[in-house]
Structure 1
Amino acid sequence: MSGTITVGMDGTDHASAAAAWAAEEAERRGSSLRLVHAWVWRPTDVVYVGDRAAEERWVRNMLDEARSRVVGRHPALDVTTELLVDDPVPALLAEAARADMLVLGSRGYGTLTGYLIGSVSLKVLRQAAGPVVMVGIPNSGTPQQDPEVVVGVEPGQIGDSVLEFAFSAAAERGATLRAVHAWSVPTALAWSPGSLYLVDQANGLDRINREVLADTLKPWRDKYPQVEVIEHFEIGSASEVLLSNSARAGLVVVGRRSHEAGLRRLGPVTHAVLHHATAPVAVVPHDCPPG
């Protein structure tokens, strides 16, 4: 596989962690790595110590140092840098559209205390045309993560691009793919205890959900026969079930609908995973399957 992985840099430790993760991913895929920083000089009406040239030098030095760190660990990797003269959101959205994936630190431009994701990152996640991976600083006090890739699956509501990304990531890593589907009792049955009892006695809900998940995954199992797949389905809150199965994952993959009119949202499950998962999280835009 080839292509480009782009990292948004801002001089923080979180961005450095994102660059380190992206470098390993690029080496694994045979891709090139691109380190970028979006910057626009805006003198303010308050006293400002410094000037345009000094700030630009700082940005270019930051990018050069980041490149040096990456090349020091991955000497064979093709690594380039670029200062993008634009506001961060449009600049990063343009990068997401042209790259195979955009990688950002879990804190960055415009971070607010108490939030794991900055306002710029949230806007990019909501609008990006391609996959965006959020990477946090690894906690050296926790056990080494397993190579397992975890993907949240909502049959009938998840597009092919999400499963393609997840299966491809597992294949590249030689990792197991854990496909997680959380389900709940249909409202109609919840209001009809007698019907619910009959369905439960026939093991109907369990069997139906197992079959639906298997049918959703079958085309991808056929395409990636080398990937070992664990089909996990569980009754409960989708975000809680997915997070509980992601505690030791190496990568978590979730979807975001890309065709909704008006203000684009991440969705409650994706939002929860982004804020609470300890592993890198890939958010993949998708169109819902026809139905």
Structure 2
Amino acid sequence: MKPDEIVVGVDAAWRRSGALDWGLHEARLRRRPLRAVHVVDESLRSDDFAPIRLDGQVVRPSPIPRNDRRLVDELEEYLAGADPALDLAADLMIGAPGHRLAERSASAGLTVVGRRGIGGFARLLIGSTSESAAVHGDGPVVVVPNGWQPAKHASAPIVVGVDDHDQNDAALEFAFEMAAVHHVPLWLVHAWEVPAPYTWNAPVANGMREQWEQAARQWLDTVAEQWHQKHPDVDLRHELRQSHPVVALLDAADATGTQLIVVGGRRHRLPGLMIGSVARGVLHHATVPIAVVHEHRATEPNPGQ
């Protein structure tokens, strides 16, 4: 796999999903190769051959279902007519879809999944495969709502959330890159709240509110200035909101009509805690594409060193 490759996870509902169109739009802008990856869910297959012993272990070989092969053929045909000048192809993998896409993201420049596939319940805002890929992926993983048409939002700004507790570099680098590639403004959004110990003490909180807001504004101004010096060609704007960070980002997205919300991803090293509550909250409630940007594992410091 090429390190600048765009990987798009697809299933039988790919024509209704906005993921492939979003990925193709990005591939055209960046002139990057794209792979549409369909993962055959091994847990749903019941047509296994009889077990055999291979290298001392018992394995159960399975054929690729005909419908899945046909799906890949359809994808190849669609991609062949999408842009002859680009390197576009379809791949087939076997395994747990979310897990395999997260694995594939480690060597991709960008991974894209649809918000919901053909499985699950209608009331779920995000499918399990998409959530797994976004939570456990490596590098930037973009989750695209079904039916999203990127061309209709081509001039809309990018919104990125920044906070003063975690590393923002990966998310900010990706957000600035997206804004530069799309030639659109970038909004840095920072939220502040009354510290928890003071939420039940209104007189003290009211007396400190101006001080807390000023400190938050100074921090945001400093971050904006530092990053604007790195990327002077990007039309950078920043906004401070007194709100829960999830609410602040969703409200900013509505106010700006954004085409993409960018949040930092990996916050924890424990399994099951791969993203913070803000990223997870936005992931579950956003109605526009959201990029969850993880630091690549290879670049993370080893806590044992």
TM-score, structure 1 as length reference: 0.83
Q: Find the counterpart in structure 2 of residue 12 from structure 1.
A: 13
Distance 1:176 1:250 in 2: 11
Q: Is the 8 A contact 1:14 1:107 kept in 2?
A: no
Paired residues for 1:17-56 under 5 Å: 17-39=18-40, 40=42, 42-43=45-46, 55-56=65-66
Distance 1:128 1:98 in 2: 10
Distance 2:202 2:18 in 1: 52
SS in 2 for 1:3: coil
Paired residues for 1:217-232 under 5 Å: 217-232=224-239
Runs of 4+ in 1 over 6 A off after TM superposition: none
Unaligned runs of 5+ in 2: 49-61
- Structure 1 residues 199-250: Cα deviation after superposition (integer angstroms, max 9, x where no partner): 45xx433321111012223332112111111111111121111101112111
- Structure 1 residues 83-131: Cα deviation after superposition (integer angstroms, max 9, x where no partner): 1133323321221111011111111264233112222222222211221
Q: Is the 8 A contact 1:246 1:252 kept in 2?
A: yes
Q: 1:119 aligns with which of 111, 114, 128?
A: 128
Give how far 1:195 is off: 5.2
Distance 2:65 2:39 in 1: 12
Give how far 1:193 is off: 5.6
Give how far 1:184 is off: 0.9
Q: Is the 8 A contact 1:158 1:286 kept in 2?
A: no
Give how far 1:5 is off: 0.3
TM-score, structure 2 as length reference: 0.80
Amino acid at match of 2:91: E
Q: 1:237 to 1:68 in 2, by over 3 A?
A: same
Q: 1:267 to 1:193 in 2, by over 3 A?
A: same
SS in 1 for 2:90: strand
Q: 1:72 aligns with which of 56, 59, 81?
A: 81
Give how far 1:188 is off: 5.1
Q: 1:250 aligns with which of 240, 259, 280?
A: 259
Q: 2:215 aligns with which of 201, 204, 208?
A: 208
Q: Is the 8 A contact 2:79 2:89 kept in 1?
A: no
Distance 1:184 1:110 in 2: 38
Give how far 1:186 is off: 2.6
- Structure 1 residues 133-184: Cα deviation after superposition (integer angstroms, max 9, x where no partner): 11112368xx857420001111232331111111111111111001111111
Distance 1:44 1:54 in 2: 9
**RMSD value, Cα:** 2.9
Amino acid at match of 1:42: R
Give how far 1:190 is off: 4.9
Amino acid at match of 2:279: T
Matched, 1:175 2:184: yes
Q: Which has the higher mean CA deviation after the structures are superposed, 87-96 or 161-170?
A: 87-96
Unaligned runs of 5+ in 1: 46-51
- Structure 1 residues 25-60: Cα deviation after superposition (integer angstroms, max 9, x where no partner): 111112100011112483269xxxxxx76823x223
Q: Is the 8 A contact 1:152 1:179 kept in 2?
A: yes
% identical equivalent positions:
33
Amino acid at match of 1:55: P
Distance 1:198 1:53 in 2: 69
Q: Is the 8 A contact 2:7 2:110 kept in 1?
A: yes
Distance 1:146 1:17 in 2: 18
Amino acid at match of 1:155: D
Q: 1:274 to 1:29 in 2, by over 3 A?
A: same
Amino acid at match of 2:93: L
